[in-house]
Amino acid sequence: MKPYDKFLKTVVDAHFFDQHASVLVALSGGVDSMTLFEWLYQAKDRLNVTLSVAHINHKQRVASDMEENLLSKKMAELGVPFYTAHYQGTFSEEKARNFRYAFFEEVMTTQHISALVTAHHGNDVIENFLIRQIRGSRLRFLTGMKAVQSFGSDEDSELIRPLLSFEKSELTATTYFEDASNAENEYLRNRVRNTYLPAFSKENPRFSENLASLSEEIGLAMTIVSDSITAFSGAKIIELIAFNQETEALQYFILQDYLTQFATLEVAKRQFEELLHIIRRQGQYLHAMSAEYNFVKDQHCFYIEKRGNAIEFETSLTPFVFGEFNQIAIPDTGEIIIRKRLAGDRVIINGMHKKLRRFFIDNKISLKKRDNPLVTVDNQIYGVLDVVSTDLSKSLKHAKIKRTLYYREKR
């Protein structure tokens, strides 16, 4: 079977485009993406789709501008919409990839395109597997690429990789650009492609085939794991009772799965193991995992939240007209100050004098609420908003002359 016929049979049998009227092709200009475009263009009427093209000019080579212009001219001749963006800033493979996919999503949103198609093929699967092994990636990231997966913020949008069953030797583009930098070994991917894989294949000619098989087996194993932790998938908060009922092996993967919700949060192996230890032991915990996120564990659950998400309150000396609210009794005179907790703050609660910190610990007040504002009058603590009123406030309950501070969380 000729490569194009194999391609057409693959996409038709898999129903890749049945739900998509418009398709965006990620086009670099290399043999991979040019083959994909040529095959899709040839099959567009059979598949009943319209094509658009997105190209990123990374501005890393002298030929980049010329290639962009030639691609633009070719698409104009074919009547195919052509969208391009120029990468700016310090170059790295990761930054460039993030830039590309952000641009693809932007084009899809503005042009109402529901499918992104990329030219990843079988050789890419092997390279990615070995790269991730070298970098020490976790098991779930060694499962290879999916032929179809959701993409972007639109739940109906998909990323489709129709060439995963093809080897690079099967790609047939007659016109394409050869990136000379692919022969250089500055980047890890090039070293894997040009040096490591050939060396391993010399030891075992079936090395790439074995890696692909191993990736498939890992995928099957991870499917079993995923099916076993479905109840936790996508949860914003993990309940400790349910978590602790699972085996330690599944707890490991539940936490892994939970962390995938935070794309910008990098968790090293040691930090991951520390989190597992903290979750399994008694006690509450609050820790800044990065400049962006906190890890929080209280009596009932654990979760990750964006830093700076402290509870905010609005206060008034007159009742709020709408909605629910709470109140604290305070003296009729004296300067009211609402402030943060300070080291050494002391309170009187139920006749007991103690440090506020000790009160929080003894009463298992959640870590998040321990940062709630204090209400003071003439430097005396009358309460902690949404936590407790002190004896000073309670003693005013039946006083004829007093003030009442009304408060509620900001909407």
pLDDT tens per residue, range 337-378:
999 888 889 999 999 999 998 998 888 888 778 888 999 999
pLDDT-derived band at 321, boundaries 50, 70, 90: confident
Model confidence at 163: pLDDT above 90 = yes
Q: What pLDDT does 310 receive?
A: 66
What's the predicted TM-score (pTM) here? 0.64
Backbone angles phi, psi at 53, to 5 degrees: -125, 140
Q: What pLDDT does 267 receive?
A: 84
Instruction: Tell me if 28 is assigned to a ligand binding site.
Output: yes
The mean pLDDT value of the chain amounts to 90
Nearest to 390 by CA among 362, 354, 361: 354
Domain with CATH 3.30.465 in the chain: 230-306
DSSP string, 33-51: HHHHHHHHHHHHHHHT-EE
Share of residues in the chain with pLDDT > 70 (%): 99
Q: What pLDDT does 24 receive?
A: 97
Instruction: Write the DSSP symbol of residue 373.
Output: P
Model confidence at 264: pLDDT above 80 = no
Q: What pLDDT does 47 receive?
A: 95
Instruction: Tell me if 33 is assigned to a ligand binding site.
Output: yes
Q: What pLDDT does 309 receive?
A: 61
Instruction: Tell me if 30 is assigned to a ligand binding site.
Output: yes
In CATH, 3-215 is 3.40.50.720: no
Model confidence at 138: pLDDT above 90 = no
| E strands in 49-161 | 50-57, 82-86, 115-117, 148-150, 158-160
Highest mean pLDDT range out of 33-42, 304-313, 319-328? 33-42
Instruction: Tell me if 181 is assigned to a ligand binding site.
Output: no
Q: Which residues, other chains included, contact 372 with Cβ-Cβ below 8 Å and sequence gap of 6+? A: 311, 313, 384, 385, 386, 387
Share of residues in the chain with pLDDT > 90 (%): 58
Model confidence at 281: pLDDT above 70 = yes
Instruction: Write the DSSP symbol of residue 193.
Output: I
Nearest to 256 by CA among 241, 269, 240: 269
Q: What pLDDT does 59 receive?
A: 87
Q: Which residues, other chains included, contact 181 with Cβ-Cβ below 8 Å and sequence gap of 6+? A: 60, 61, 190
Instruction: Tell me if 323 is assigned to a ligand binding site.
Output: no
Neighbour tally for 140: CB within 10 Å: 16
Model confidence at 72: pLDDT above 70 = yes
Q: What pLDDT does 186 receive?
A: 81
Q: How far is the C-alpha of 113 from the C-alpha of 159, rounded, in Å?
A: 11
Architecture of the domain made up of 230-306: 2-Layer Sandwich (3.30)
Highest mean pLDDT range out of 70-74, 138-142, 342-346, 398-402? 70-74
Domain with CATH 3.40.50.620 in the chain: 3-215
Q: What is the mean pLDDT of residues 139-161?
A: 87
Lowest mean pLDDT among 35-49, 66-80, 169-183, 321-335: 169-183
